[in-house]
Amino acid sequence: MRWINSGPNRAAVDALQIAPGDNVLELGFGPGRAIELIAARVVDGCVYGIDQSDIMLRQALIRNRRAIGRGRVILQRATFERLPFPDASIDKILAVNVIYFWRDIILIFHEIRRVLRPGGRIVIYSTDASTMRGWKFAAKETHRLYDAQALRDIFLTGGFPADEISIGEISFAGGMVGLLAIAENQRLRDGQRPRHTAKSCIGQCRSAHVEVIRQ
């Protein structure tokens, strides 16, 4: 599966447009390769990761042990339907090759919008349905497939305005076609500030990393 995720990970992380002080969350971090890319770009913020697999959590903890030890990364097992973060506390959210498995899409997008600060950005990568139909493991019983319109419809249903959504097509080696969906949360109103700053979250990151490692 590494070849399926390597190029998409890099493209999606680039699309996040990470600033050094951002708090960034990845949903479904797998073995932690994108977390590693994100942590290299976040200096004053914190990198969070949520996955529903104990196996993936263990692999990602090992891969990112140095960043975790320095108090810059928190990885934990949790569900996407109930994200363990305060309102408006995350600047950027990433999800690569996981949307196929989201069953309660409305609830997950509600949670995404809840934790994403005004002016924040979410990037979701999905391999296009035209490619995935040729993969035996991507059966309809386990994977929900998306073309560009279906992906846009999910964002609209999830509450993102049409003018805040961008869907782009990316081609990779071997003929793999991917979709990169980018959406901006509603812009900050004049004089409005996010509820949680990078400084406060990095303090939380440093205090929590030891407990996470012990899981």
Delimit the domains of the chain by residue range.
2-213
pLDDT-derived band at 193 (thresholds 50, 70, 90) equals very low
Euclidean distance between CA atoms 184 and 146, whole angstroms: 20
pLDDT at 215: 35
**Alpha carbon of residue 215 to chain centroid:** 22
Decide if 42 contacts 22 (C-beta within 8 A): yes
pLDDT-derived band at 199 (thresholds 50, 70, 90) equals very low
- Evaluated on CA atoms 84, 87, 91, 95, the torsion sign reads positive
Q: Rounded to two decimals, what is the model's pTM?
A: 0.85
DSSP H or E stretch at residue 150: helix 148-157
What the block records as the tokens of 56 is 């993936």
What contacts 70, CB < 8 A, 6 or more positions away? none
The per-residue pLDDT of the chain, averaged, comes to: 86
Decide if 121 contacts 182 (C-beta within 8 A): yes
Q: Helix 105-115 crosses helix 148-157 at what angle (to 10 degrees)? A: 60
List Cα–Cα distances, 198 to 72, 143, 144, in angstroms: 11, 36, 35
Instruction: Encode pLDDT of 76-108 as tens digits.
Output: 999 999 999 999 999 999 999 999 999 899 999
Under DSSP, the state recorded for 186 is P
According to CATH, the superfamily of the domain at 2-213 is Vaccinia Virus protein VP39 (3.40.50.150)
What the block records as the tokens of 99 is 């949307």
Report the C-alpha dihedral over residues 148, 151, 156, 159, rounded to 10 degrees. -150
Alpha carbon distance, N-terminus to C-terminus of the chain: 25
Euclidean distance between CA atoms 156 and 81, whole angstroms: 18
Angle (CA) 97 101 104, round 5°: 125
